[in-house]
Amino acid sequence: MNRIALLSLLFSLVFVACEDKSISLGFNTQNPTPENYELKSSLHVLLNSPENAQAEVQQSMTATVNVLVHSELLSAYDDGTGRFLLRVDSASYISDNRSVEETDHIQRYLKTQAVQYKMGSDGEMSSVRFDDMVALPDVGDVDIRRIFLKVQPVLPSSPLEVGDSWERQQVLTDDNHKQSVVYKWFKLEEVFDRDGVKIAKLQMNVRYKQNSEDDAQVMESSDFVLGTGTILFDIAAGKVVEGELNIEGKMRVIEKKSGDTIPDLRVRQKITLRSVRE
């Protein structure tokens, strides 16, 4: 009997140890505290030229967006989802290919942006729309919805252990009702303590085909645009504290008015998201 009791005890201890290794990740959609984030996007667009072309004749554009956004819960629903507000409190925009007037217009429009969306505990966002008082983006304007959605993680419902991975698809619909699918792959890389807070570090890979359109042009890609990055997630608070995503791909632009096509654009974008304290 003693040997059986000892084996049972050892089995229980092993079971508990295995259980302790697993964690559950989920966004707090019922009673989160308001948060402020710094959201940055650095975009570099290069028109591919023949290999023997001189550097001074190669065409490129660089643009940097830096916004401070405020996030808060508007309503919590019985199904576990919540409706959130994401509001731009301050913004700066710099570009080496825009006039002073264009730069000022884009920066002023950024400061007006306020986005409402519904989100589940897995981070899946739906009904992503501008607040009623915000005008739809004009040609050349920067839309923070597109930037934010790229870096937003989608979490699994089942518990995870370090090394586990999962995949999700996000269907995005623009203001012209055109849909595109973003494929996201995640891996739980590690769990660590930062100032007494347990943090999950996620590896993230994304791929999608560019398919956007406004009144002036169509931007599309025949091959997948690829991105890789990391997410730091506060497990107890149920929120992202940091995120970074580096994206690269080839695209073409079709001008609607003239019918001209820019066939070979190489695009690189770096997006960072960081929780900040007031």
Name the one residue in this structure whose structure tokens are 């979490």: 155
pLDDT digits (tens, 9 = 90+) for 57-97: 457 889 999 999 999 999 999 999 999 999 999 999 999 88
Give average pLDDT by consecutive 10-residue segment, the chain, 278 residues: 54 48 94 96 81 57 94 96 96 91 92 95 92 74 88 94 94 72 94 95 93 71 91 97 95 76 85 89
C-beta neighbour count of 207 within 10 angstroms: 17
CA distance 167 to 165: 7
Quick one: pLDDT at residue 248?
94
Q: Which two tokens stand for residue 194?
A: 């930062």
3-state secondary structure of 259: coil
Q: What is the largest CA-CA distance in the chain?
A: 89
* Residues 6+ away with beta carbon under 8 Å from 235: 23, 25, 191, 198, 199, 200
What domains does the chain contain, in order, with CATH numbers?
Answer: 24-276 (2.30.230)
pLDDT digits (tens, 9 = 90+) for 200-224: 999 999 998 887 776 666 777 888 9
